[in-house]
Amino acid sequence: MASLVCVGAISGAHGVSGRLRIKSFCQTATDIFRYQPFYDAAGQREYIFSFVGSKGAQLIAEMQDVATRQQAQELKGTRLFAARHRFPATEPDEYYHTDLIGLTVVDGGGQVLGYVHNVVNFGASDVLEVVGDEKRQIQIPFTRSAVPIVDLSTRRVVVDWNEDAA
């Protein structure tokens, strides 16, 4: 099974006819349905939905063989995983968070600083949260000057960042 990425979760039942409420973790909520079929965490069970509509932040969908509210309730909490290869190609200098998370971070001299724990954006630019020795966190802006090399093939990020300078 190809690598799987969690793109959503079933948050409960909607109505009495077996419809499901789906919480999307995608940048554009409805994009989740472009990545079908979904799998469970182990990649064993397959889920295919048909989109019905949305209610607030939740998406409403129907699934084959789920016709009652009780059947829908039983699926509550199921996390939906999509195959990574179904994601569209990115533009140059654009990376999926899921590809960046886990990469080893090294400085110009080849010294390992830690690994990418998370990618966040608070409105300015994207920031790599790097966790190093003794769970020490370093925040590095995801800019060409601070992160000159991103090598997904060797799963390595080279940074030019002096955290202690102020």
Partner 1 sequence: MARSVWKGPFVDADVLRKAERARESGRKDVIRIWSRRSTILPQFVGLTFGVHNGRKFIPVFVTENMIGQKFGEYSPTRTFHGHAGDRKAKRS
- Regarding 140 and contact with partner 1 (CB under 8 A), the answer is yes
Q: Read off the amino acid at residue 108.
A: G
* 53 token code pair: 């509509």
Number of neighbours of residue 82 by Cβ within 10 angstroms: 21
Of residues 45, 55, 137, 151, which one binds partner 1 by CB under 8 A?
137
Of the pair 44, 145, the CB lying nearest partner 1 is at 145
- Regarding 30 and contact with partner 1 (CB under 8 A), the answer is no
* 160 token code pair: 């030019």
Of the pair 17, 76, the CB lying nearest partner 1 is at 76
Is residue 75 within 8 A of residue 9, CB to CB? The reply is no
- Regarding 90 and contact with partner 1 (CB under 8 A), the answer is yes
Of residues 62, 95, 106, 131, which one binds partner 1 by CB under 8 A?
95
Sign of torsion, CA 61 66 68 70? Answer: negative
Residues 117-136, one symbol each (x = binds partner 1 by CB under 8 A, - = not), give -xxxxxxxxxx---------
Give the Å distances, CA to CA, from 3 to 51, 52, 65, 141.
25, 28, 27, 27
Q: Which stretch binds partner 1 (CB under 8 A): 10-18, 39-47, 57-65, 137-145?
A: 137-145
DSSP code per residue over 116-143: EEEEEESSSSEEEEEE-GGG-EEEEE--
Q: Which stretch binds partner 1 (CB under 8 A): 40-48, 57-65, 103-111, 157-165?
A: 157-165
- Regarding 109 and contact with partner 1 (CB under 8 A), the answer is no
Of the pair 36, 71, the CB lying nearest partner 1 is at 36
Among 7, 15, 31, 21, which residue's Cα sits nearest to residue 53?
21
Separation between Cα atoms, residue 106 and residue 88, nearest integer Å: 28
Of residues 11, 51, 71, 87, which one binds partner 1 by CB under 8 A?
87
- How many binding residues for partner 1 (CB under 8 A)? 46
